Amino acid sequence: MRTLVAIVVAQALGLSVMAAPAVYAADQQDSAKIAELKKQLADLTEELEDLTTRVSKNERHSATDRIVLSGDFRVKAHSLHYQNVTWNPAIAVNFSDFGMRAMAGEYGNPMDANSPLGKMMTANPDLAMAFQSGMLQGVMPYVLANPETQDIDNDLLYTTRLRLNLKAKVWDNVDFAGRLSMYKNWGDSTGVQVFDSWRSFSMDGTNSGNTSGDWLRVERAYFDWRDIGGSPFYLSIGRRPSTYGPPSQYRENELRGGTPSGHLVNFNFDGLTLGYKLGELLDVEGMVVRFCYGQGFESQWGNGELFGDTVTKDTHLGGFNIDVINDGNHFLQLTLFGAKDINDGFKGTIAFPNQLASIFAPTMYQDLQKFDSFNFVTRVQPSGVIGDMYLGGIGYAYESDDEQKFFASFGWTQTNGNGNAGMFGGMLSDAVFTAELNADGTEIIMSPATADDDSSHNGYGVYVGMQIPAPYGKVGLEYNYGSKYWTPFTQAQDDPIGSKLATRGHVVEGYYIFDVNPKMFIKLAGLYYDYDYTGSGTPVGAPQKVSDVIAGRAYSLLPVVDKAYDVNASLTVNF
Amino acid sequence: MMKTKLQLGVVLLAALFAVGATAAEGGNPKKGKHLYKKECKVCHSKSDAAGEITPMSKTMAQWDRFFDKDKHGAKPEVFEKLSEQDIKDIQQFLYDHAVDSAQPQTCG
């Protein structure tokens, strides 16, 4: 037994002696590993501390940075060409009324050269002759200037548009959205244009689509309050997202840019939307019913004369805007709304054209001639209510899985004139002028008395188009037509010749979009306008056949364009 | 030399075709939407235990990370049964509609 123990001890000792270097090496390795791990841990701790500091900074930043800013920037070069631009101004005068008043002596003694009538006869001998020989009876045009027709080429017009989108999460179910935009033509920040058409009017509803200088204007500012009380209702109030609505977003190469149909409305409105996500109830994707209300004109505040001498009325709009389906492939929208108490214009600013001064303000024109390149800038306001309007439309767009897009939209407008008229006319009617004495009884002036027509007029418009993938981008083709009385609210569409969708006539557009990268694209486009009737984009004034104006059979206080084309190239950067 | 030229040509061609590149090269967002509804919503709808997932649950970069690195790590078999193309389509759809992507400019 002793021997056995001895052997075991000896073996153990022997073994341990033999194993000693190995154990020593293992210890050494472990210590090295531990040291290494300690170092790694220290590094990691250091890294973690650094990360914690950086994450805390980010956390603090994101918690305090309450607005998300994004935007887009577009530079565009246009070549604009207008054909048969005709100016043939005249006003319709009630000569029978004039004769009656003249006979009653209201305008003074015709034999006295210093009487108002005598002065008028001396200034207009041909007119006096025609009147005396009985050629002027009833309501007839009083021609104001010799007709002029010319072609106009604006070979290069550059514009820059900057839009900054603001988004803020107010609460779990409340968001704020805003858009600040600047849209200018190069080298001009006056904010006003010479009033040669309704397009060139600087005013609230169209400032975002009309070049108005280097000012950043609030195009949109509203909140969305969703799932009110857990229901599918939502409420949104403010300056509305009412521009670039469907299907006009395809040509803009952007997502749906506004709520209402872009074929009927492309106009900045202040108002509210009460919506109901009916799709959640009926299981139809994207189905939303909206009631929209807005005010397009404020008649009293800041308006009228010194003592609130207001003759206009507030313009209120209301109606329904229904997305029947919006599932990414199919989009069907119904729109119906009315505008009550439309006035013969808006509040806005214009640079007064000197040619109109020579006709309507001869005394002032005497002085203005000394400054023939000066235009006085003036704030204008409408002169009265001319009637009500209704607008309706149905639009459908199909987007295939491989990005082929097709759309068709039909629009209807109805105007109900009330017989009133301002200088440029009544609701789709012309003004009939009456001769009156001015305030001190020294001069006869012509004042718009009534509209020549107070009947209702229906207009309609169609808009069809497609966009299909092409090498490095997409190509698109669009066509739209508007009838004689077609009067949509699309004046903020930023086509320099005028909103193409408001055209009373035909417009064809073809374009190619080159997608430089997902955030940048180049668009090359050509638009051809063929106007059938005058007054596109305004409910004021009777539409005249353009060919009649050119032939001298019809008249217009503002120049009339026959055909026009716009070739343009743009580069847009989204950020 | 010939080889260098060829390489250069390939690089240029690749650069040319890289134009229009999106999150998942070759992903079709519209098809992705159908697949998302079919494959993802079954487990990720409002009251599901797996939790509701919408495109707006993540940012664009977070979706890319999810598809490139995580690959549905919590339940990898979900991705394994889908084809590579289907996954690309879903990724593109989620990326296009992520919380920091461009959204329609409407009031709902």
The string of pLDDT tens digits covering residues A254-302 is: 999 999 999 999 999 999 999 999 998 899 999 999 999 999 999 988 8
SS3 label, residue A334? strand
Q: Closest residue of A to B93, CA-based?
A: A328
ipTM for the whole complex: 0.76
Q: Which residues of B touch A275 (CB under 8 A)?
A: 107-108
Across the interface, whether the CB atoms of A402 and B105 are under 8 A apart is answered: no
Average the pLDDT over A364-372 and give the result: 88
Q: Does A441 touch chain B (CB under 8 A)?
A: no
Q: Which of A340, A435, A335, A444 is nearest to A386 (CA)?
A: A340
DSSP state letter for A304 = S
- What distances in angstroms separate CA A213 from CA A76, A191, A192, one per listed residue? 15, 5, 8
Q: Dig out the tokens for B14 from the structure.
A: 């690749």
pLDDT higher than threshold 60 for residue A6: no
Residue ranges of chain B whose pLDDT lies below 70: 1-24
Question: Which pairs from A244-250 meet CB under 8 Å and 24+ separation?
Answer: A244/B105, A246/A331, A246/A333, A246/A395, A246/A397, A246/A407, A247/A331, A247/A395, A247/A397, A247/A407, A247/A409, A247/A463, A247/A465, A248/A493, A248/A501, A250/A397, A250/A405, A250/A407, A250/A465, A250/A467, A250/A476
Which value, in Å, is the radius of gyration of the alpha carbons in chain B?
A: 17
Task: Say if residues A265 and A253 touch (Cβ distance below 8 Å).
Answer: no
- For the stretch A97-110, pLDDT in tens is 998 888 888 888 88
Q: What is the mean pLDDT of chain A?
A: 92
Q: Which residues of A touch B31 (CB under 8 A)?
A: 401
Q: Closest residue of B to A290, CA-based?
A: B108
- For the stretch A410-458, pLDDT in tens is 999 999 999 999 999 999 999 999 988 888 888 888 899 999 999 999 9
Q: Please tell me the predicted confidence (pLDDT) of residue B12.
A: 42
Encode burial over B33-68: b for 16+ CB neighbours within 10 A, e otherwise. bbbbeebbeeebeeeeeeeebbbeebebebbbebbe
Q: Please tell me the predicted confidence (pLDDT) of residue A7.
A: 54
Q: Dig out the tokens for A118 from the structure.
A: 């005598």
* Angstrom distance (rounded) from CA A496 to CA A281: 44
* Angstrom distance (rounded) from CA A161 to CA A51: 40
Q: By a Cβ cutoff of 8 Å, what residues of chain B touch chain A?
A: 19-22, 28, 30-31, 33-34, 100, 102-108
* Angstrom distance (rounded) from CA B64 to CA A443: 78
Q: How many CA atoms lie within 13 A of A44 on its CB side?
A: 6
Question: Could you tell me the sign of the dihedral formed by the alpha carbons of A565, A202, A481, A458, in that order?
Answer: negative
Q: Are strands A68-88 and A563-574 parallel, antiparallel or unpaired?
A: antiparallel
Q: Please tell me the predicted confidence (pLDDT) of residue B18.
A: 43
Amino acid at residue number A239: R
Burial (CB count within 10 angstroms: exposed 0-12, middle 13-18, buried 19+), residue B94 = buried
Helix (H), strand (E), coil (C) string for A249-291 = HHHHCCCCCCCCCCCCECCCCEEEEEEECHHHHHCCCCCEEEE
Q: Which residues of A touch B92 (CB under 8 A)?
A: none
Question: A49-58, A474-483, A534-543 — which is least confidently predicted?
Answer: A49-58
* Angstrom distance (rounded) from CA A103 to CA A569: 63
* From A240, A244, A275, residue closest to B108, measured CB to CB: A275
A-B C-beta contacts closer than 8 Å:
65
- What distances in angstroms separate CA A526 from CA A135, A507, A568, one per listed residue? 49, 10, 6
* From A236, A328, A401, residue closest to B108, measured CB to CB: A236
Across the interface, whether the CB atoms of A244 and B105 are under 8 A apart is answered: yes
- Helices and strands (H, E) in chain A, number of each type: 9, 24
Strands of A371-455, DSSP E: 377-380, 385-399, 405-417, 431-437, 444-451
SS3 label, residue A438? coil
Q: Please tell me the predicted confidence (pLDDT) of residue B16.
A: 43
Q: Does A534 touch chain B (CB under 8 A)?
A: no
DSSP string across A197-236: SGGG-EETTTGGGS---S--EEEEEEEEE-SGGGSSEEEE
SS3 label, residue B90? helix
Q: Does A179 touch chain B (CB under 8 A)?
A: yes
Question: Could you tell me the sign of the dihedral formed by the alpha carbons of A280, A283, A284, A286, in that order?
Answer: positive
Burial (CB count within 10 angstroms: exposed 0-12, middle 13-18, buried 19+), residue A358 = middle
Q: Dig out the tokens for A249 from the structure.
A: 């977003």
Task: Give me the residues of A, 446-505, that contact B with CB < 8 A.
Answer: 472-473
* Angstrom distance (rounded) from CA A345 to CA A556: 17
pTM of the model: 0.87
Q: Please tell me the predicted confidence (pLDDT) of residue A133.
A: 83
- What distances in angstroms separate CA A67 from CA A61, A161, B104, B106, one per listed residue? 11, 22, 18, 18
Strand partners, A457: A415
pLDDT higher than threshold 60 for residue A327: yes
* From B20, B31, B107, residue closest to A241, measured CB to CB: B107
Q: Does A515 touch chain B (CB under 8 A)?
A: yes
Q: What is the side-by-side strand order in the sheet with A377-380?
A: A202-203, A348-351, A377-380
- For the stretch A501-551, pLDDT in tens is 999 999 999 999 999 998 999 999 999 999 999 999 999 999 999 999 999
Q: Does A222 touch chain B (CB under 8 A)?
A: yes
DSSP string across A119-151: HHHHH-HHHHHHHHTT---SEEEEE-S--EEEE
